[in-house]
Amino acid sequence: MYSLAKNLITEKDLSRKISLLENLVNHPQLTAKELAANIGTTERTVFNDIQSLRSDLPMGWQLEADGNNGLSLISADYATTNEVWEYFMKDSISIQLIKKLLFSKKLAVQTFVNTHGISFETLKRHTKKVNQKLKDFQLRITVSATAISLTGEESSIRVFYHRLLLPFTHNNFFFEEYAIHQTNYRDFLARISRSGIGIETEEIFGTCWFFINTIRIKAGCLTEAFHFDEEDALFKLYHKDLEKLYASEGIRLNKTEHFFAFFCFIESWNYSVIPDAFLKNLLLKEYPDLFAGANRFVSGLSAALNQNNLDKSDLTENLVLFLLKYFESKQLSDKFLLEYHELSSLSQRRFPELYQLISQEVKNYGLDYLSDSGYVINTLAFLIKEALYSISPRQITAYFLFQGEPAWKSFLYRELQDLLGNRVHLKNLNTDELSNYQLEENDIIISNYPLQYQSKQTVVYVSSIPTQNEMQEIRELIRPFYL
């Protein structure tokens, strides 16, 4: 959740302690050996860090050791995970530097080094490390003898801060008086819903954009000029309500900032949610070419994948929404997609054949105005894969051959069904029935007794009461079918 923030922490010991705590938050108990392996350090270092952490943890948290069984991170009922993060982040020079640059165009070097008790050389060393992480966002922190500034296009700066601060939007570590700002944004969403132009959105996603835009505008850090259509039908539809939203923060938007705020709003629109009749008719009327392009693309893709039911999924509507963002501003779309740059490599690695197919189909079906980038193909790949899962979610079959007390067998069958999820069909069979089925290569067999049946499929033998290791083996077998 805090992956970007963690990567920006330049202090090795602090980063290691946070990783240690993250492991303990995600696991009820871990040994020092397991922690060392997970973090990539030695057991001695883990023991030293534990000793240091015992006295450093915020109120409501404590570390407990249970002999050879391992360590546990215990919290009081009122304690939240955020408290642990914030408690240690305040000690990071790099995080404090980035936090202060959110609210100001420039920082005075002397004030910053004096406040944090560091030398000018130490400041430059931390800055150099942070800049390695900022390359993906096309940004850089520059340090002169007197001033510190974050250089790059303002829209890129805001994209970076949105990615960084999204997990922190609901607390006051970066955003003071959160409840007031959140109420303003919720009022905006309620107002457009009452007007009949509401759409289901990711509320915290949109609230974070609202906060960042407000903070940067108040700091005098305005977005660069870019092309947009002031007469665009969708922009005009939300124009007045967005004006009221930012006026609630004492901000009068100029034309560019107004459109940027609008674009941030449509970025928060959820996929796979059909808009109400008024909005759907407006989109059909004002953007017919987007629907035509989406229909051609889905039709061609259906033929290429031999999936005739693809047009019955939400793919066409999802594709229209994605194309709509490009129609509103190609420049901003490309920049906003950079926010999750690491998803591109995940998409290529996870769906290599689909990735290549989409690249070809984009050119074949009138979508060649899309940016020729991995970010675009990546987004399309996820939308298409989601549609494919919706029409054909089950990829493999697990055959359940179990001899035991009927009530227990029924209970265990239900437990395994829930464990396997909806991409694995669990089929209950007797041994003599197995030969009647044509098993696929990826299918698996789960049995509590030895089988005479010769099979190329993986067979998992379980006890009458399956052990944790046996259940874990099943989990490992189905893991490739899930993220």
**Tell me: the pLDDT tens digits for 319-334?**
999 999 989 998 898 8
Per the CB < 8 A criterion, the answer to whether 198 and 278 are in contact is no
Tell me, yes or no, whether 135 and 198 share the same domain. Answer: no
Tell me, yes or no, whether 219 and 294 share the same domain. Answer: no
Token digits for 156? 């890129």
Q: Which domain holds residue 143?
A: 93-152
Q: What is the Cβ-side half-sphere exposure of residue 108, based on CA atoms within 13 angstroms?
A: 4
* CATH code: domain of residue 332: 1.10.1790.30
Residues 6+ apart with CB under 8 A from 390: 313, 314
Tell me, yes or no, whether 244 and 220 share the same domain. Answer: yes
Tell me, yes or no, whether 260 and 330 share the same domain. Answer: no
- In a domain, residue 169? The reply is no
Structure confidence at residue 58 (pLDDT): 74
Rounded distance, CA 320 to CA 190, Å?
25
Rg over alpha carbons for the chain, rounded to the nearest Å, is 27
Token digits for 438? 């044509």
Q: What is the Cβ-side half-sphere exposure of residue 364, based on CA atoms within 13 angstroms?
A: 15
Q: Is the pLDDT at 60 greater than 80, yes or no?
A: no
Rounded distance, CA 41 to CA 49, Å?
11
pLDDT bucket at 438, cuts 50 / 70 / 90: confident
Structure confidence at residue 130 (pLDDT): 95
What are the pLDDT digits (tens) for 117-174? 999 999 999 999 999 999 989 999 999 999 999 999 999 999 999 999 888 877 667 7
* CATH code: domain of residue 76: 1.10.10.10
Tell me, yes or no, whether 243 and 325 share the same domain. Answer: no
What are the percentages of helix, strand and coil residues in the chain, rounded to 5? Answer: 60, 10, 30
Count of domains forming the chain: 5
* CATH code: domain of residue 464: 3.40.50.2300
Per the CB < 8 A criterion, the answer to whether 303 and 360 are in contact is no
pLDDT bucket at 77, cuts 50 / 70 / 90: low
Tell me, yes or no, whether 326 and 288 share the same domain. Answer: yes
Tell me, yes or no, whether 262 and 287 share the same domain. Answer: no
Rounded distance, CA 389 to CA 383, Å?
10
In the listed set 391, 420, 437, which residue is the last one of a domain according to the structure? 391
Nearest to 383 by CA among 272, 256, 265: 272
DSSP assigned state of 294: H
In the listed set 359, 391, 423, which residue is the last one of a domain according to the structure? 391
Tell me, yes or no, whether 82 and 147 share the same domain. Answer: no
Tell me, yes or no, whether 137 and 185 share the same domain. Answer: no
Token digits for 383? 């939308």
**Model confidence, pTM:** 0.85
Tell me, yes or no, whether 22 and 108 share the same domain. Answer: no
The dihedral built from the CA positions of residue 264, 268, 273 and 275, taken in this order, carries a sign that is negative
Tell me, yes or no, whether 253 and 288 share the same domain. Answer: no
**The tokens 């900032």 sit on which residue?**
257
